[in-house]
């Protein structure tokens, strides 16, 4: 019986550990919209990433209170978003902040929040989708708030968030 417990207990513990450190993609807001994504996307470039102190793992709702340092962007998340949208057959352009975006085009804003645990990792990525200056979709990549994480990075999270955004259009 003890061998049986040993062979069953270890995989269960490993499964619990591995699933507890996973990063989740969350649909925070989705407002039905009559327009379709066929009008294309404009991503507004964000030149800065936000950092927060080591050992604190806030959720996406309270992260603003914990951000302590603004630094040059780690990764061109705007490019990653456009690459994913292009792969799915959508037109996407990147513009500088402050440039007026055309009407009837979806505008994407984003903000990335980073922490350090032996290396930098992206704890939270928020993406907002606007149509005619009205927020229609908000999605978030949220690292585990218990401090156990899988070192989420934009290259892994952006495709999942773009897919979540596009799924919302299919539901409307």
Residue by residue, pLDDT tens for the chain (172 residues) are 455 555 565 554 444 444 456 777 778 788 866 556 777 899 999 999 998 877 777 778 878 777 778 888 888 999 999 999 999 999 999 999 887 777 788 999 999 999 887 778 888 899 999 988 889 999 998 887 666 666 788 999 999 999 999 988 665 5
Domains by residue range for the chain, with CATH: 23-171 (3.40.50)
In order, the DSSP letters of 25-86 are EEEEEE---SS-GGG-EEEE---EEEE--TT----TTTHHHH--EEEE-SS-HHHHHHHHHH
The two structure tokens encoding residue 101: 């975006």
Tokens of 39: 């009008």
Q: For the whole prediction, is pTM greater than 0.85?
A: no
- What would the two tokens of residue 148 be? 């156990």
């Amino acid at each position: 019986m003890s061998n049986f417990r040993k062979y069953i207990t270890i995989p269960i513990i490993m499964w619990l550990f591995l699933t507890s450190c996973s990063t989740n993609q969350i649909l925070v807001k989705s407002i039905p919209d009559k327009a379709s994504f066929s009008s294309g996307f404009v991503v507004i470039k964000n030149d800065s990433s936000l950092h927060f102190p080591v050992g604190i793992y806030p959720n996406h709702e309270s992260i603003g209170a914990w951000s302590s340092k603004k630094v040059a962007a780690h990764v061109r998340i705007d490019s990653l978003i456009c690459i994913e949208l292009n792969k799915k057959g959508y037109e996407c352009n990147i513009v500088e902040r402050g440039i007026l975006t055309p009407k009837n085009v979806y505008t994407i804003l984003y903000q990335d929040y980073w922490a350090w645990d032996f290396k930098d990792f992206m704890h939270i990525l928020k993406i907002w989708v606007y149509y005619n200056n009205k927020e229609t979709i908000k999605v978030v990549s949220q690292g585990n708030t218990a401090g156990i994480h899988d070192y989420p990075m934009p290259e892994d999270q952006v495709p999942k968030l773009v897919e979540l955004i596009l799924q919302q259009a299919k539901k409307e």
